[in-house]
């Protein structure tokens, strides 16, 4: 029997978690993604909840598989796990947790000033990490579910789980199975998702660069095995010319509710470092610029365009981008903090006249 009063989550002692888990899993989403997995962080209550959710996947497979995937992504640590485990073993984490759970709210806030508190959270992450290999089998039961949405979430979850080195042998024959399903998928969204999973697991996504759908071709081009392929770079550039078109894949679980174009822009700017090739795509990003900070639409292009900060002798492409940025009235509102943060972080002036002068 779990004593939830000795555990805590992002909002304090986890006594409310028992009640949430006693109800329908389908109704637990708000609690799972706020208290148990809070902004990508796990807590001492998270490992027990992860195990409980995995045992109940048939009740609400999309929600459950999404939670498994997000926790697996949050605790990915690879070769650093054993070093962290040694540090945790030497720390009084159990005593710290007991004292924290018994403290009032003000005292709980004060307790976060020492290293032991950080190691308590690290211990929770390690506990989740150790659970991942055992979750491959229950997740794999949904890989060929009749519901396409369930299949997509299952493949996304199993891909995240297989980042654990001890999980690779838990799903034999996975890559051929995945390639076969991707080739047979009639839905563009499902085919794109499976192709990204295939590439993420080290399979060969290259045949999908010839897919009839530009979304699938771009999905293939984004995968790690094609990072150095010129044909893949061209596909990324073509999609980036109309970046919001890639947002048609927004329903895929891998993007976590964020616009897929942000991933497209990040991957493109990481792989193509010649701004003369990125110039047209950077202009296509301007209508979405400075809506967040740092700006995920324009920021990566600015980093490539101005790698050394504000130039003394600008190139034609730098001048052209500066001219277009200065010309867009909506980017220069006096209270646009997103612009100031983005430009300041890149060592660029938050001064419209400076951009006009460079252009």
Rg (CA), the chain: 23
- Alpha-carbon torsion angle 291, 200, 205, 304, nearest 10: 40
Residue 133 has pLDDT above 90, yes or no: yes
Tell me if residue 335 falls in helix, strand or coil. coil
Question: For residues 276 and 314, is the Cβ–Cβ distance under 8 A?
Answer: no
Q: Is the peptide bond before 97 cis (omega within 30 degrees of 0)?
A: no
How many C-beta neighbours within 10 Å does residue 149 have?
A: 17
Closest to 134 in 3D by CA, of 153, 152, 158: 158
* Percent with pLDDT over 70 in the chain: 99
Does the pLDDT value for residue 1 go beyond 80?
Answer: no
SS3 letters across 146-173: CCHHHHHHHHHHHHHHCCCCCCHHHCCC
pLDDT of 171 > 70? The answer is: no
The answer on pLDDT for 131 being more than 90 is yes
pLDDT of 37-71, one tens digit each?
998 899 999 999 999 999 999 999 999 999 999 99
- Does residue 106 carry a pLDDT above 80? no
Q: What is the pLDDT of residue 252?
A: 85
Question: Which region among 203-212, 248-257, 313-322 has the lowest average model confidence (pLDDT)?
Answer: 248-257
The tens digit of pLDDT for each residue in 258-285 reads 999 999 999 999 999 999 999 999 999 9
Tell me the average pLDDT across 210-238: 98
Lowest mean pLDDT, pick from 64-68, 103-107, 115-119, 206-210: 103-107
Q: Are 159 and 184 in contact (CB under 8 A)?
A: no
Decide if pLDDT at 254 tops 80: yes
Over range 7-14, report the average pLDDT: 90
> Contact at 8 Å (CB) between 251 and 189?
yes
Q: Which long-range contacts (CB under 8 A, 24 or more apart) does 47-54 make?
A: 47/124, 47/127, 47/128, 47/131, 48/2, 48/7, 49/17, 49/21, 50/128, 50/131, 50/135, 51/131, 52/21, 53/25, 53/28, 54/131, 54/135, 54/138, 54/139
pLDDT beyond 90 at 179: no
What does pLDDT average to over the chain?
93
Q: How confident is the model at residue 111 (pLDDT cuts 50, 70, 90)?
A: confident
CA distances from 195 to 72, 161, 177, 201, 294 (A): 20, 17, 12, 10, 29
From residue 352, give the alpha-carbon distance in Å to each of 152, 327, 332, 345. Answer: 45, 9, 7, 17
Chain segment 160-170, per-residue pLDDT in tens: 898 888 887 77
Would the pLDDT of 342 be above 80? Answer: yes
Q: Measured between alpha carbons, how far is 296 from 299 in angstroms, rounded to an integer? A: 6
Q: How confident is the model at residue 110 (pLDDT cuts 50, 70, 90)?
A: confident
Predicted TM-score (pTM) of the model is 0.75
Residue that wins the pLDDT comparison between 42 and 254: 42
Name the one residue in this structure whose structure tokens are 């081009």.
Answer: 221
Query: How far apart, in whole angstroms, are the C-alpha atoms of residue 218 and residue 244?
Result: 13
Q: How far apart are the first and last CA of the chain?
A: 68
pLDDT band of residue 104 (cuts 50, 70, 90) is confident
Contacts of 316 (CB under 8 A, 6+ apart): none
What are the tens digits of pLDDT across the range 184-201? 888 999 899 999 988 988
**Residue 172, pLDDT above cutoff 80:** no
Farthest-apart Cα atoms in the chain, separation = 69
**pLDDT at residue 305 greater than cutoff 90:** yes
d(CA 56, CA 292): 37
User: Under a CB-based contact definition with an 8 Å cutoff, are residues 225 and 206 in contact?
Assistant: yes
Cα torsion 53, 59, 65, 70 to 10°: value is -40
Does residue 178 register a pLDDT over 80? yes
Task: List the single range of 82-96, 226-240, 340-354 with lowest mean pLDDT.
Answer: 82-96
Distances from the Cα of 274 to the Cα of 197, 234, 302, 319, 354, angstroms: 28, 13, 12, 15, 24
Task: Indicate the angle between helix axes 81-89 and 115-140, nearest 10 degrees.
Answer: 130
């Amino acid at each position: 029997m779990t004593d939830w009063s000795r555990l805590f989550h992002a909002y304090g002692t986890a006594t409310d978690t028992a009640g949430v888990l006693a109800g329908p899993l389908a109704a637990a989403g708000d609690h799972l993604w706020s208290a148990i997995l809070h902004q990508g962080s796990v807590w001492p209550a998270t490992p027990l909840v992860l195990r409980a959710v995995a045992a109940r996947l048939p009740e609400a497979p999309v929600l459950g598989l999404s939670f498994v995937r997000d926790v697996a992504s949050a605790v990915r640590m690879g070769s650093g796990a054993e070093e962290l485990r040694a540090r945790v073993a030497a720390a009084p984490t159990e005593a710290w947790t007991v004292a924290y759970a018994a403290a009032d709210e003000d005292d709980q806030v004060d307790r976060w000033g020492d290293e032991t508190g950080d190691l308590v959270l690290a211990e929770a992450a390690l506990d989740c990490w150790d659970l991942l290999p055992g979750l491959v089998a229950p997740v794999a039961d949904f890989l060929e579910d009749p519901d396409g949405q369930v299949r997509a979430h299952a493949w996304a979850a199993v891909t995240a789980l297989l980042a654990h080195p001890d999980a690779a042998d838990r799903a034999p024959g996975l890559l051929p199975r995945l390639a076969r399903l991707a080739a047979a998928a009639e839905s563009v969204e499902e085919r794109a998702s499976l192709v990204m999973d295939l590439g993420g697991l080290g399979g060969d996504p290259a045949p999908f660069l010839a897919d009839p759908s530009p979304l699938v071709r771009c999905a293939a081009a984004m995968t790690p095995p094609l990072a150095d392929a010129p044909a893949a770079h061209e596909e990324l550039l073509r999609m980036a010319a109309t970046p919001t078109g890639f947002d048609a894949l927004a329903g895929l679980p891998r993007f976590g509710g964020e616009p897929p174009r942000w991933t497209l822009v990040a991957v493109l700017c990481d792989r193509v470092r010649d701004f003369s090739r990125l110039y047209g795509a950077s202009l296509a990003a301007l209508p979405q610029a400075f809506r967040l900070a740092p700006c995920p639409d324009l920021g990566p292009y600015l980093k490539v365009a101005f790698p050394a900060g504000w130039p003394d002798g600008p190139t034609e492409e730098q001048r052209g981008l500066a001219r277009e940025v200065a010309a867009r009235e909506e980017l220069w509102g006096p209270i646009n903090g997103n612009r100031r943060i983005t430009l300041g972080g890149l060592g660029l002036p938050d001064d419209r006249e400076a951009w006009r002068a460079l252009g």
